[in-house]
Amino acid sequence: MSYAKTTSKLESLIEDVPQVNYTICEATINHCDQIFNLVQEYYTEYGIPKNRQLNISTFRRDGFETSSPCFRCFIALTKTRGGIDEIIGFVLWYRSFGSTTGPRVYLEALFVTKLYRQKQVEQALFEETLQEGEKLNYSNVNWIDKRSYLSEEFYTNIGGENLTKTQTFLLYKLDEKAISAIALPLTK
């Protein structure tokens, strides 16, 4: 799917921002190294500590070298002046299941490199994921994002519900060390 200055359901939040020509497509193993470079940018920008970062071999194996990948990925491509495809953004997502809703999309990461932000690339990647979920007849889309004014405004404008405000949900996680500490006594 090719995008340029087309009217999108999800309009840019900033007026008069120059647009860019790009294409949204599903990532293949040929894109893996370039996507992983952007994943490194994502880690840096979001302050993700080294001990929580995937390495390239795990990323490649779990997403691209298996018949049942742990995640799917859409990418935004633009042409450089030399005519080379350059990946300027990605969205990682996977299928999850809700006991009250059935199959749904869980959007894990949406990232566009700084130079191409506010040019509707984020919106196009988000829309592509929603369209795929709709095509697969998924009931809803869930995601977590680091709090910022722009992300909250964007998600509210598209009809997202902030479950931390409207529901009594708490979000927890166990890291590898905590899982091992709990699992070890149970296996003895």
3-state secondary structure 7-68: CCCCCCCCCCCCCCCEEEEECCHHHHHHHHHHHHHHHHHHCCCHHHCCCHHHHHHHHHCCCC
At position 112, the amino acid (one-letter code) is V
Domain count, the chain: 1
Q: Domain range for residue 9? A: 2-187
What does the pLDDT read at residue 100?
83
Other beta carbons within 10 angstroms of residue 53's beta carbon come to: 14
CATH number at residue 47: 3.40.630.30
Contacts of 131 (CB under 8 A, 6+ apart): none
Q: pTM for this structure? A: 0.78
**Terminal-to-terminal C-alpha distance of the chain:** 53
> What confidence tens digit (pLDDT) does each residue in 156-188 have?
887 888 887 888 777 777 777 888 888 766 555
